Amino acid sequence: MVVTDSSDSGTILRVRGPLEFKCQLDSTDALLMQKVISRTFATLHSQVKSESCVLTVCDSSLIIWPNKGVYVTPEEITPNTLCEDIHQWIQTDEQESAGKRSSKKKNKKSSAASVINLRLMMEVTKTGPLSAPILRRTLQKSHFLSTTLPMDCVVRTTCSDTIKDAFERLLEALTHQLCEMEKVTLQHMKGATLLVPEPLHFLLPEPKGLVTVVYPAGVPDSQLETHRKELHQQFELPDDWPYFRRANAFHFSNEPYKDGYLRNPHVVLTHPTLDNGKVYLVQGIYSYHHYMQDHMDDNGWGCAYRSLQTICSWFTQQGYVERAVPTHREIQQTLVDVGDKQGSFVGSRQWIGSIEVQVVLNQLLEVTSKIMFVSQGSELASKGRELANHFLTEGTPIMIGGGVLAHTILGVAWSETTGQIRYLILDPHYTGAEDLQVITDKGWCGWKGPDFWDQTAYYNLCLPQRPKVI
């Protein structure tokens, strides 16, 4: 594995590309097969360290030969150029749509650009005279193995790193990843069948940073628990959070989610300022579920369903469960199956509340929840300590239902000395498109004061508890 500093300064260099793994097994003896596979990996090591290894910067004209003294083209770039300056050569979508593509310098990087993507390639043509090919025919029974190794390495640079510094570290990361892939391949080899090694990146708590781990593709997380325990011990991590499950793999900012849901819209908000106040927030990643999504017209009745879906997405994306976020119909069917509702409830437009949310979480996700009862909305202002402690210890989104409305609480800003409190609310009643600016500017995700609640209505809060697993 590779550990990368996760400081906010600098840029992440990420290189991806295929390496073709091909070898011929002339024996079924396990030891001999392992030797052949190790020799094949040694050949790949030689390729990565050879002058034929090329790294190209995506969406730019930059080409870098890291083993030729870090030779770079165009010539305006030198090995001593600051790594940050690569951003100037990258073509943005806006520039492309405006027809401004050229090999000249590009606009300076924006503050949001934090990842530089590179492709790993190998030069095929060679300079100088080439020998004539020799054909040889051999009759023997062999087993031919062929697969593609999906190389994926990251290195974080600082503002003072040069291209030479950064790409030397990238080469080290590539060779180290090949070593890790060889270990995984040999460890999980079944006869003459190879499992493709799969590199994944995980962001650990500070100061550990971004860590790359290689898993065997096709082996479920449930069979890798021993390995994860070793990783937790190595990085001195607690045994109550699944840091190294695949669902927890780091998502790079320049890669959109394929399902179309917004993730963590609250991160762009400015925290409220309270006298001696602290902010306590949801931990991890969730999806924003709201009215009218998934081709479902639930306007006026589905707010608690959507809040439940947001909570379920949190447990899925933290790796606690491996099931998809339940649909309205699946939620209703679950409540019928446990005897909470009659069969006619399935397919209806009937509301659910915090108690039903608790039941569904327990039945579908095996997640237990605490229920907080508040006799009137004015009492919520006195619940700062309990809510702050929940986000500190559990870190899960909270569903709150009162009157005819349901919301999701993502955090609180609370002053222990003055009792002042603000609530970070994710509102499932939004009916528009997945437009982050509209959602935050219009307050569909935003900080609310105590007067946000109906002061005379009673409220039930469902506080999901994290399973203590790795």
Q: Is the peptide bond before 74 cis (omega within 30 degrees of 0)?
A: yes
Whether residue 330 contacts residue 308, with contact meaning beta carbons closer than 8 Å, is answered with: no
Please tell me which residue in 143, 227, 429, 435 is annotated as part of the active site.
429
- Angle in degrees, 0-180, between the axes of helices 30-49 and 163-187, rounded to the nearest 10: 170
Pairing outcome for strands 115-122 and 12-25: parallel
Please tell me which residue in 303, 312, 445, 462 is annotated as part of the active site.
303
Whether residue 40 contacts residue 186, with contact meaning beta carbons closer than 8 Å, is answered with: no
**What are the structure tokens assigned to 5, written together?**
């500093």
Whether residue 286 contacts residue 261, with contact meaning beta carbons closer than 8 Å, is answered with: no
Whether residue 382 contacts residue 415, with contact meaning beta carbons closer than 8 Å, is answered with: no
Please tell me which residue in 23, 427, 445, 462 is annotated as part of the active site.
427
Active site residue 45: no
Active site residue 429: yes
Pairing outcome for strands 209-216 and 2-4: antiparallel
Active site residue 427: yes
Q: If 0-12 CB within 10 Å is exposed, 13-18 middle and 19+ buried, where does residue 300 land? A: exposed
Cα–Cα distances (Å) from 161 to 108, 157, 158, 414, in that order, read 17, 6, 5, 41
H/E run at residue 451: none
What's the angle, vertex CA 370, arms to CA 368 and CA 443, rounded to 5? 105
Cα–Cα distances (Å) from 241 to 39, 244, 252, 461, in that order, read 38, 9, 21, 24
Residues designated as active site: 303, 427, 429
